[in-house]
Structure formats: C-alpha cells, structure tokens
Amino acid sequence: MKNKINLIIAIFFIQYALVSAQIKQFQAVKQESSITYQLTHPLHEIESTSKDANCLIDMDLSTKQIKKVSVRVDVTTFNSGNSNRDSHAMEVIDALSFPEAIYESSSTEQKGDSLKVYGKLTFHGITRDQTIVVKTNWSNDKLIISGGFSISLTYYNVERPALLLIPVKDELKFDLTQIFILK
C-alpha cells in the first residue's frame, strides 16, 4: 500500500514538472512597445505615451496559450510632448503618492487571435476589476499584443481637470502595443 501511494505521488510530481516546464515568462521589448492614454476635452484631445512599461506574460509554449499577464508602469514616464501639461497631469493623479499603475491578471481566455484578460488594475491607489481585450499577432519568433480599454477617472477618485471651467470627459482611454521576442 505504501509503495502505491509513493508511486502516485511520484507520478503527480512528474506530471506537474512536465506541465510547469512548458510555461515560460517573456518580457516585452520596451523600445518597441508602448502604452498611450487619451483624454478628451471639448476643445482638444490629449494623448500621452510611455515606452517604459514593464510587461510580462507567462505562456504555455506547447499550446501558445497566454496564462498570465502583468504590467507595471511609472506614471511619470508618460509624455504628451508638452511638459506643462504632463506636470499638471502628475499633480492631478498625485504621482508622488501613487507613482505606479499596475495590472495583474487572474485568468485569461484565448480564442484564435483574440485574448480576453481578467484581472485587477491599481491606479491612483485604488484597485478595481478590469477586463482587457487584445489581439495577438504571432510570427516565428515574435508576438505582438495590441488593444485597448477605458477607465472612469471618477471611479478611481481622480478629479477631472478642467480647461476654461469645462472638465475633461470622465473616460480615460488606453491603447497598448506590447512586443515580445519568443526565444
């Protein structure tokens, strides 16, 4: 009886080792990847981009299934091309107290080139559920993930900035492109 139990335990550990050995973590190439936010005011649209996000994916190499996604970006790395605007944006989101935006997935659903990622977004010190839908584009040694999502500024307790006493729209849109070398 003891030998059977030991055999079952050994088989379990071997199967676990085989399955987990096929999961590999990849980091996005920062120079080729970006996250851009868009904020809309009735008089103009603001767009600001960071090329300094730390994006990691865990992928099952045998099935090309993305199992986990993690993104961290220092909010001060976003650049709109206007330093006064960027400084004001950092004041509005209190970047000194909340320097990072973080996304951690809890699960994923992959169907063809569509990937739905369920997880939590921490922004302005508040963590909320956030689902992100992206497209995956595979080549021999490269994966490009692109898509977007929106959040509500007031939902994250961010006071909407105003120009000429008119506040920006509550919706903050994000577009992302993350490129991974699969070697």
- pLDDT score for 76: 96
Strand partners, 180: 143
CA distances (Å), origin 151, targets 24, 128, 132, 148, 156: 30, 10, 11, 10, 8
User: By C-alpha distance, which of 140, 134, 176 is closest to 30?
Assistant: 176
Dihedral of CA 75/144/130/36: which sign? positive
CB atoms within 10 A of CB 8: 10
Dihedral of CA 13/14/16/22: which sign? positive
| Domains, in order of start, for the chain | 23-181 (2.40.128.110)
What is the pTM for the complete model shown? 0.83
Contact 156, 145 (CB under 8 A): no
Strand partners, 5: none
Query: How do the pLDDT tens digits run along the chain, 183 residues long?
Result: 666 666 566 555 555 545 545 899 999 999 999 999 998 888 889 999 999 999 999 999 888 899 999 999 999 999 999 999 899 889 989 999 999 999 999 999 999 999 999 999 999 999 999 999 999 999 888 999 999 999 999 999 988 877 788 887 889 999 999 999 988
Environment class of 57 (CB within 10 Å of its CB; exposed 0-12, middle 13-18, buried 19+): buried
